Amino acid sequence: MIPRSIARLLAFLPALALAHPGHYHPPGEVDEFDQLRADYLHLHGPLEFGLAAVAVGAVVLFKLNPNRKVRLAAACALGGSLALIAAF
């Protein structure tokens, strides 16, 4: 059985992952990496965390399961989740 404190930590852990401090620059200061960070390095919420979890699970399933149909489904899930991550 999971102790209450660990259960609470696991329940509130996704809220910590969604915390975002913001990007503050004083007036007149320009950061050349703002567009790169906003376009490619910035997560947009729990959807991408879920897609990343599906991708990791698909890789594990592909490596550990000897059934060919399961491995094909895992490869499709991996490709689909990576395509959706790139689309968002």
Given a cut of 80, is residue 20 above it in pLDDT?
A: no
Measured distance CA(86)–CA(68) in Å, rounded: 27
Where do the domains of the chain lie? Answer: 44-88
pTM: 0.51
Percent of the chain at pLDDT > 70 equals: 59
pLDDT in tens, 39-66: 655 666 677 778 888 888 999 999 998 9
> To which H or E segment does residue 78 belong?
helix 68-87
